[in-house]
Structures are given as structure tokens and as C-alpha cells.
């Protein structure tokens, strides 16, 4: 039975958790609590109380300002412990990120195998993910004490607390550990932005609400995204309504190793290390797109910054600016190489091809909400201090298989992506091969000849991870009963 009302109203927004709409960038302090339910009865009593403290979505900007935020997501083992029928959830969530079936899709092999993880595997399953944010240290310390005291007496056991760090910010974007502006590209969601989807490739692409919130029209001709729960009930009475799926990956980053490799290869190729690094990422350190004919980052006026997210690669069809295999072109190919293409003369722009490709790409978008952890490198190009650092990657999507897993399997780790041969994502790829002599490589499309860099080590190691369900506010209270 479907829900007859598929519009995402302000009241529906208030029934969702705030993480859907904000990464709480103004709150520099954050901890993720990985919890295990020891006593289901006590946990339900705790859940009934904590549900009233959960930060909800708020359409009124004047009412959004708070000094702290709290969100809560459930792993399948946690829902099982609470007696919830999880057979209504999508298969990826039921299997779990740690399962062999998902590991095959994600490329979690070798050192990235789930049995080597710190959490999220069979040895340490995570039942609940409690996410706490605050804008200052005093508020954060107070809220930590309150929440830790509450869950400890609420039948819950702390598996691990994951603390994040506050990275450098240029006023627009936060820097990630490798030294590049992060969070430049986020999808514009229809109901979050008050804008409607457009067929014009040169218009900022607006993604249907159902790509990120369960129970609303998605990018497949307005089909309603499946809502977990009793099929005898309408969508808006199921516990899945106004919820979404949350993907969490604990990613250790070898920043010194990345820059050591880049400097060595740049010396061999007689090019600038920043140029090679920008080609690998697809953007310069300041977030600007690498464009054809540009060998250094453009200057950006902080008082009048350009829009660095509205492009479809029509001006770089040959990949001579942003390479075909670069990180950002793999994770969002935008207007090239996807969908059914009509033949056009080389170098000619086809609006139909771009439109078709954007339509396909927009069915595989994610909202990123992760944060960095570990020792911050003031100068990642030169600094090499001891200690671990990395990213707590978090993304939200209405369909794990079609969105997050598709990106990882079909774009990031695909050796034949966009006509390439034996190449995966040079920054986050983890492809393993048993072929003798195989080396991870990366091609720079250039005139008169392309340039190939070989022997890439892995710069990212998976230390843990899990799939979670982020329910709506009403659903939280339903789960507590």
C-alpha cells in the first residue's frame, strides 16, 4: 500500500533527523559512539527518552541555530535485538558491510578484509551509532557527560568512541588530510533547496527527494522509494518513512605516503608535484576544477568566489584538464560517458548525450557527512609526523546498492571505467590483482601524447565500517515501544 501524499512538507522535514540537511559545519566538536545493546528492555526505555533530544530537520532557518546536535542510527544487529523485523530492509543492509557478498562489491580484500577491522565485523558488531556535535569545548564536554551517563545506565555498552578533529577552513570549505578543499560537491536536493529538477544540462542539477529520503519520488520517473515496514500499512505509517540509510567507513589515510609518491613521480615526469596531485584528485587544493591548459591553481577572490560545482565536463570532453580516471570524475562522472549516446563528431558537444549522462549520474549520488580524525598535518606536502590520521566517511542515501555501492564498484574500483585500462581510483582505490607484474596506474590525457604514472600504492586502508538505518523522529518513538 503506497502513501497517497508524496510531497515533502515542512512537517515531514521536522520528522527527519537533522543530519540529512546539515553536516553541522558550525559545530567543530564531534564524537561518534559505537554502541551495543546489552538489555533490550532498558535500551527501549533509554530510546524513548533520547528520542526527545534528537536534532530534527528544521525548514525555518531562524530556528536552526543550536549549540549542539544529536543524531542516532541503527545497525541491523541493533534492530534485531529490539525485535524489529529487518526482512523489509534492502538486501545490502540485511547482509551487512562486513559480509562476503558486500566485500566483493566494495573491494574489501587483503588488509581491508572485515576480519581485520577494529569494529563492524562479526567480532564487534555495532548495534547503534550515536552522533554528538557541539560548537564549543565547554558545551561538548557537558553533552558528552550527559549522553555517556544516559546510555551506560540504559542497557548499552560502549564498543568504541570515535573522536573527530577540527580541520583548517578557508572560510568556504574545510581541508581534508591530503590538503585539498573538501565538501565542494554535494547534491542539490529538490525539497531541501525549494528548486525543481531541470532538463537543461547547464542548470544546476536538482536531485529528487526520494534519492535520499524513504517514501518519496526518486530519479526513476518519480517511482516512490521503498519504505521498510509492515506492507499492510501505508508508507507514512511504517517505521522506514522519512528515514534513510547511513554508510560509515573508517578510512585510515596514508598522507605522507601519498605526497612521497607524488613528489617522486613528479620528479621522474619533470612536472610540478601540486600539478600531479591535482590531476589525481581532479581539483586544485583550493577546490577549483582542473581545466584544460591550466598548469597551476587559479586565484580565488574570497569576497566573490565562483561556483565550483556547476559543470558537466562539456569543456573537457578529452579529459585533458580533469583526467578521466581522476577521483572526482570517477565518483561523479556528470555529463560524460554514461547513458545511451548518439554519435557526434570528435570534439563536438552533444546536448542530448550530456543530458542522458547527467540523468544516469544523478541516480547514483550520495550526501556526504563525514569528518576527519587523527593527527593534523599543517603542511601535508612536507610534514611526516607519527600517528594515524584519516576520514570517518559517512554518507546518506535511500538505496545503498544503487548509490554508495554502485559508486564504489562501478566507478571507483572499475579498471575499465570511461574507456581506461587496468586503472582504479588513484586516491581511494583498493583493487587487488593476482596477475603477475600488475601495478596500479593512472593516465593523464595530454597533448601530443598521454602520460602514464605506474606503481601506485594504496593510500587508504579500511579499519572498520557498517551500514545503518537513520530513522525519522516518529519512527524512533515507534522503535522504543
- Contact of 1 with 231, CB cutoff 8 Å: yes
Kindly list the distances between the CA atom of residue 300 and the CA atoms of 204, 295, 308, in Å, as whole numbers in the listed order: 21, 15, 10
Which tens digits make up the pLDDT trace of 121-160?
999 999 999 999 999 999 999 999 999 999 999 999 999 9
Residue with cell 579529459: 319
Element containing residue 139 per DSSP (H, E): helix 137-152
How many residues comprise the chain? Answer: 481
Radius of gyration of the chain (CA): 22
Residue 359, burial from CB neighbour count under 10 angstroms (0-12, 13-18, 19+): middle
- Contact of 330 with 417, CB cutoff 8 Å: yes
Distance CA 74, CA 94 (A): 12
| pTM score above 0.85 | yes
Q: Is the pLDDT of residue 378 over 60?
A: yes
Torsion angle of C-alpha atoms 440, 328, 445, 178, degrees rounded to 10: -60
Distance CA 411, CA 329 (A): 9
- Contact of 121 with 108, CB cutoff 8 Å: no
C-alpha cell at 30: 564531534
Give the other-Cβ count within 10 Å of 78's Cβ.
25
More confident residue, 354 or 474: 474
Residue with cell 567543530: 28
Which tens digits make up the pLDDT trace of 166-205?
887 766 678 899 999 888 889 989 888 766 555 555 555 7
The pLDDT assigned to 152 comes to: 96
Which tens digits make up the pLDDT trace of 306-321?
788 888 898 998 999 9
Distance CA 246, CA 397 (A): 7
Give the other-Cβ count within 10 Å of 117's Cβ.
21
Q: Is the pLDDT of residue 400 over 80?
A: yes
Amino acid at each position: 500500500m503506497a502513501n497517497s501524499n508524496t510531497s515533502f512538507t515542512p512537517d515531514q522535514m521536522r520528522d527527519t533527523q537533522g543530519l540529512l540537511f546539515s553536516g553541522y559545519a558550525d559545530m567543530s566538536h564531534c564524537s561518534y559512539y559505537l554502541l551495543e545493546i546489552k538489555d533490550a528492555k532498558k535500551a527501549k526505555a533509554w530510546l524513548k527518552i533520547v528520542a526527545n533530544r534528537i536534532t530534527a530537520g528544521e525548514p525555518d532557518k531562524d530556528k536552526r541555530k543550536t549549540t549542539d546536535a544529536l543524531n542516532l542510527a541503527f545497525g541491523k544487529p541493533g534492530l534485531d535485538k529490539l525485535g524489529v523485523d529487518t526482512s523489509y530492509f534492502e538486501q545490502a543492509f540485511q547482509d551487512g558491510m562486513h559480509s562476503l557478498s558486500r566485500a566483493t562489491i566494495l573491494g574489501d580484500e587483503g588488509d581491508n578484509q572485515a576480519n581485520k577491522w577494529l569494529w563492524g565485523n562479526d567480532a564487534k558488531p555495532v548495534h547503534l551509532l550515536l552522533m554528538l556535535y557541539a560548537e564549543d569545548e565547554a558545551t561538548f564536554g557537558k553533552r558528552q557527560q550527559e549522553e555517556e551517563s544516559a546510555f551506560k545506565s540504559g542497557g548499552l555498552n560502549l564498543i568504541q568512541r570515535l573522536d573527530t578533529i577540527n580541520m583548517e577552513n578557508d572560510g568556504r570549505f574545510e581541508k581534508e588530510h591530503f590538503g585539498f578543499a573538501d565538501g565542494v560537491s554535494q547534491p542539490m536536493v529538490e525539497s531541501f533547496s525549494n528548486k525543481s529538477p531541470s532538463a537543461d544540462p547547464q542548470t544546476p542539477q536538482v536531485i529528487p527527494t526520494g534519492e535520499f529520503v524513504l517514501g518519496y519520488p526518486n530519479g526513476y520517473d518519480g517511482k516512490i522509494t521503498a519504505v521498510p515496514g509492515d506492507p499492510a500499512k501505508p508508507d507514512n505509517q511504517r517505521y522506514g518513512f522519512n528515514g534513510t540509510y547511513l554508510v560509515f567507513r573508517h578510512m585510515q589515510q596514508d598522507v605522507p605516503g601519498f605526497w612521497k609518491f607524488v613528489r617522486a613521480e613528479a620528479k621522474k615526469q619533470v612536472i610540478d608535484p601540486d600539478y600531479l596531485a591535482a590531476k589525481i584528485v581532479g581539483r586544485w587544493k583550493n577546490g577549483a576544477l582542473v581545466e584544460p591548459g591550466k598548469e597551476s591553481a587559479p586565484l580565488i577572490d574570497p569576497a566573490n568566489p565562483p561556483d565550483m560545482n556547476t559543470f558537466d565536463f562539456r569543456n573537457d570532453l578529452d579529459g585533458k584538464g580533469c583526467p578521466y580516471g581522476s577521483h572526482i570524475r570517477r565518483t561523479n562522472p556528470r555529463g560524460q560517458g554514461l547513458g545511451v549516446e548518439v554519435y557526434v563528431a570528435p570534439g563536438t558537444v552533444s546536448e542530448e548525450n550530456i543530458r542522458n549522462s547527467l540523468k544516469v549520474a544523478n541516480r547514483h549520488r550520495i550526501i556526504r557527512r563525514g569528518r576527519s580524525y587523527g593527527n593534523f598535518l599543517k603542511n601535508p606536502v612536507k610534514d611526516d609526523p607519527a600517528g594515524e590520521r584519516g576520514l570517518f566517511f559517512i554518507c546518506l542515501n535511500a538505496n545503498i546498492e544503487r548509490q554508495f555501492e554502485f559508486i564504489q564498484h562501478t566507478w571507483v574500483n572499475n579498471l575499465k571505467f570511461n574507456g581506461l585500462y587496468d586503472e582504479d581510483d588513484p586516491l581511494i582505490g583498493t583493487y587487488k590483482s593476482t596477475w603477475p607484474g600488475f601495478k596500479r596506474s593512472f593516465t593523464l590525457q595530454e597533448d601530443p601524447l598521454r602520460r602514464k604514472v605506474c606503481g601506485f600504492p594504496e593510500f587508504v586502508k579500511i579499519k572498520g565500517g557498517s551500514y545503518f538505518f537513520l530513522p525519522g523522529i516518529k519512527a524512533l518513538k515507534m522503535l522504543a515501544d
